[in-house]
């Protein structure tokens, strides 16, 4: 039985991926950052454990728990847990950016570095990174999340080349709009970090930004988490997985736009979105 460690499994993409891979016969270790979510998943029959990317001790103990259960092997890692701190870059406190990188980049890097020796010894493995369309196209009001996903893309590209010949494949999944709790979680971070009432952009917040953040509106081309899981299955089962799997029409369109449009024109398209 092949085994996989998936992070961010409390809901959304991670939960769907864990449930699907379990149905497909994989031994799934479903990690969450909150103990209550771990307990809930255990009650549903999952092998669940706590990994909080902002807590290095939990990364060490969580992976140790997995390796003890598997006898020291791990076939695949799906780095998935992440969050956004919405707001203009000029209103983004340094501590907010630092915390976002800890959760979305440094924690992933820590866990991945611990997994690579295990896979290297086995001579095989898959490291799948859940990136985003925002990992190659920067949208306004999302600067922090953009920056973390660009970093994940760069690290993954370097690892993919560095691990050639080891049997370890590094794959990026780049979703666009997916129906998850991501937006609601972003509100919590906004309220924690962004002092919009003191911002030079206060009028802009009141005119449009707050409405965009707090009002859930229909998003064209939004897909369910299963669309990401379908890409994950390909990344895990293909003999020669692609470097990138782009999920949703907006991601594919943006990839083309990024390639063919001059920067000034692309900026106009993004600004009007």
Residue 128 has which token pair?
A: 């799948």
H helix runs in the chain, sequence order: 12-23, 35-43, 56-70, 94-101, 107-122, 143-162, 182-193, 202-204, 210-214, 226-237, 249-260, 263-272
Q: What is the DSSP letter of 136?
A: T
Tokens 């900026």 found at = 267
Contact 61, 52 (CB under 8 A): no
The catalytically annotated residue of 145, 150, 205, 245 is 145
Q: What angle do CA 115, 116, 122 make, to 5 degrees?
A: 100
Q: 145 an active-site residue?
A: yes
CB proximity list for 146: less than 8 A, separation 6 or greater: 134, 135, 138, 139
Contact 239, 124 (CB under 8 A): no
79: left (phi over 0), alpha (psi -120 to 50) or beta: beta
Show the 3-state SS of 57-87: HHHHHHHHHHHHHHCCCCCEEEECCCCCCCE
Q: What is the DSSP letter of 11?
A: S
- Count of positions (residues) in the chain: 273
CB atoms within 10 A of CB 24: 13
Catalytic residues: 145
């Amino acid at each position: 039985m092949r085994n996989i460690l998936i992070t961010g499994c409390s809901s959304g993409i991670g939960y769907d991926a864990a449930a699907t891979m379990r149905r497909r016969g994989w031994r799934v270790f479903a990690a969450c950052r909150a103990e209550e979510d771990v307990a809930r998943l255990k009650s549903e029959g999952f092998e669940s454990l706590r990994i909080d990317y902002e807590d290095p001790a939990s990364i060490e103990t969580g992976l140790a728990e997995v390796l003890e259960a598997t006898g020291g092997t791990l076939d695949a890692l799906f780095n998935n847990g992440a969050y956004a701190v919405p707001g203009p870059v000029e209103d983004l406190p340094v501590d907010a950016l630092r915390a976002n990188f800890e959760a979305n980049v440094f924690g992933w890097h820590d866990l991945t570095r611990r997994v690579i020796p295990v896979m290297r010894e086995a001579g095989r493995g898959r490291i799948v990174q859940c990136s985003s369309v925002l990992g190659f196209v920067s949208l306004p009001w999302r600067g922090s999340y953009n920056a973390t996903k660009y970093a994940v893309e760069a690290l993954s590209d370097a690892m993919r080349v560095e691990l050639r010949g080891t049997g370890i494949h590094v794959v990026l999944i780049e979703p666009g709009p997916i129906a998850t709790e991501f937006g609601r979680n972003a509100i919590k971070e906004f309220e924690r970090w962004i002092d919009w009432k003191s911002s030079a952009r206060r009028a802009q917040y009141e005119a449009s930004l707050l409405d965009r953040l707090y009002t859930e509106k229909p998003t064209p081309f939004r897909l369910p988490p299963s669309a990401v899981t379908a890409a994950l299955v390909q990344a895990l089962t293909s003999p020669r997985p692609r470097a990138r799997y782009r999920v949703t029409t907006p991601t594919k369109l943006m990839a083309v736009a990024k390639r063919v449009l001059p920067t000034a024109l692309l900026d106009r398209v993004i600004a009007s979105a």
